[in-house]
Structure 1
Amino acid sequence: MAVPGDRRGGDRPGVCDMKAGIVQMLAALGLLADTSRVGLLLTCDEESGSGTSRSLIEEQARRSGAVLVGEPSTPEGHLKVARKGGSVYRLTAHGRAAHAGVEPHRGVNATVEAAHQVLALAALGGASGAGAPAGTTVTPTLLAAGTTTNTVPESASLAVDVRAWTRAELDRVDAAIRALAPRTPGATLSVDGGVNRYPMSPDVALPLLELAQAAAKDLGLTPPDGVPAPGASDANFTAALGVPTLDGLGGVGGGAHARGEYVDVGLMPDRTALLAALIERLLAEPVPGPGR
């Protein structure tokens, strides 16, 4: 047996997010007697914000009675009934170049300004943000500045990842980021980006979870629980349209995006059977969505 994160093989390879889910979806379709009313959509840009695929996802969701998402379950095998929404920003500090050794006082150091903004951004999330509920995260990520080691940087760019459980929180952080003011005399700021996807609410998922639990019982499997997930997925888009959406129907594993990522291959047949049984139930008796 390979240990978690061992990509050499065994029954826990690092293909949880989300090659295992694709395999299970294809295998589940092979178990159905009739797939004429079932669609399968695979996209390749979800990790970068679904910039090119979002319109296609929403188009197909609007013509669907339900959406089942093959993202990984939790390591405990729970399905995902709610998700945080997310925003992505690029904050650029604009300064003025000068010789760092001869006359640094003639420059406006964009790196120093970026440092001020990193601290200001970090204060917007979690318990340190004014009025921010637990779980709101504002995370500075990619940072780039300067041209040469002896030049005062005239530009610095900073990527920012924001996650929150409510629309109001995403909107609050959005307004705060756009209101950031420069701290370094002579520096200016510009902001690109914004809210990428709003949160997935449990009300679109719970009726499907009940169906999945009933299907599991019929198969002699332990009914999966439904839990909120801090990460976002394309389920956020379909849920926002009011289409019944259940996420986490892919592989059971963990460590996504890390060197220790793994999936439990031994559970893939059961999860494939569960997905097929859930589809069969939906074909027989569609679930109405909220307000539909």
Structure 2
Amino acid sequence: STITRVAAEQDAVFSFEGSDASGTLRLATSGIGSAYLTVHGKSSHAGARPEGGVNALYELSHQVLQMKDLSKPEQGLKLNWTVSKSGTNRNVIPAEATAQADARALKVSDFDELETALQDKIKNRLLPDSKVDVKFEVRRPPLEANDASRRVAGQGKTIYQELGMPLNVAERATGGGTDAAFAALKTKGAVVEGMGLSGFGAHSNDAEYVQINSIVPRLYLTTRIIMDLSNGKLK
């Protein structure tokens, strides 16, 4: 991608997604994947001849339920079914049903393992005459901490100490993903996420906010780190 190509030529990459309420810098984020489940059945009149159909909604429900325990939180692998759709009319046995799942992982190999598990699960069908397909795609790779990122984050902590403020640094992903992970694929430089303003409630419809008093410290932090990188104080 363009991000990967351009980042490979840089000494450091900063991503200005919002931080948490304490202003934590993130050196690692989860990879993001998506699973797409499609069930094909057969339509029929739900009142006059339901037995003539193959209920895609029943099969979809069966598949989602048998896939609900594929998460492995202890290793950062998460799979959650979040969107589903079936049917066209109340009085028609649905001939098609679909569902989508959000997946998170700390390693690309975990995504490979998850995809294999999904393909294995769909072999077990509730309705033998139904057809079930599942597709999986990695949308963003995991971001993993490296030594360059640790050095930059360490300098950030020193700068905040000069301001009389603490600065937390997280080297383990907490579930969120980032486009900055593409920057880390081929670079040896630092990639630091969470350089944006402190706040809370990301993606909430009524509880998201930023802390106004984090604006000046964040601008100062960014400026100082760029200056230190430019004059050779930070390598």
TM-score of the pair, normalised by structure 1: 0.73
Return the offset for 1:135: 3.3
- What residue is the counterpart of 2:176 in the other structure? 231
Matches within 5 A, 1:26-37: none
Match of 1:94 among 7, 15, 40: 40
Contact 1:108/1:185 (8 A) holds in 2: no
- What residue is the counterpart of 2:29 in the other structure? 83
- What residue is the counterpart of 2:200 in the other structure? 254
Match of 1:143 among 71, 84, 101: 84
TM-score of the pair, normalised by structure 2: 0.90
**How many Å separate the matches in 1 of 2:138 and 2:117?**
13
- What residue is the counterpart of 1:283 in the other structure? 230
Contact 2:16/2:196 (8 A) holds in 1: yes
**How many Å separate the matches in 2 of 1:177 and 1:63?**
38
Contact 1:65/1:287 (8 A) holds in 2: no
Matched, 1:240 2:176: no
Matches within 5 A, 1:53-68: 55-68=1-14
**How many Å separate the matches in 1 of 2:214 and 2:4?**
31
Can you list the C-alpha shifts for 1:206-258, whole angstroms capped at 9, x where unaligned?
Answer: 1221121223234x242412113320011211122234201100010010000
Matched, 1:187 2:130: yes
Superposed CA RMSD = 1.8
Matched, 1:208 2:149: no
**How many Å separate the matches in 1 of 2:165 and 2:229?**
20
3-state SS of 1:251 partner: coil
Can you list the C-alpha shifts for 1:60-97, whole angstroms capped at 9, x where unaligned?
Answer: 21221110110111211111111111101211111111
Matches within 5 A, 1:86-165: 86-126=32-72, 133-165=74-106
**How many Å separate the matches in 2 of 1:106 and 1:64?**
63
3-state SS of 2:184 partner: helix
Return the offset for 1:178: 2.6
Q: Percent identity?
A: 29
**How many Å separate the matches in 2 of 1:193 and 1:134?**
20
**How many Å separate the matches in 1 of 2:161 and 2:96?**
59
Match of 2:113 among 172, 179, 183: 172
Return the offset for 1:118: 1.2
Aligned AA for 1:262?
Answer: Y
**How many Å separate the matches in 1 of 2:12 and 2:44?**
59
3-state SS of 2:28 partner: strand
**How many Å separate the matches in 2 of 1:276 and 1:189?**
54
Q: Which residues of structure 1 form unaligned runs of 5+?
A: 1-54, 128-132
Q: Which residues of structure 2 form unaligned runs of 5+?
A: none
Aligned AA for 1:238?
Answer: A
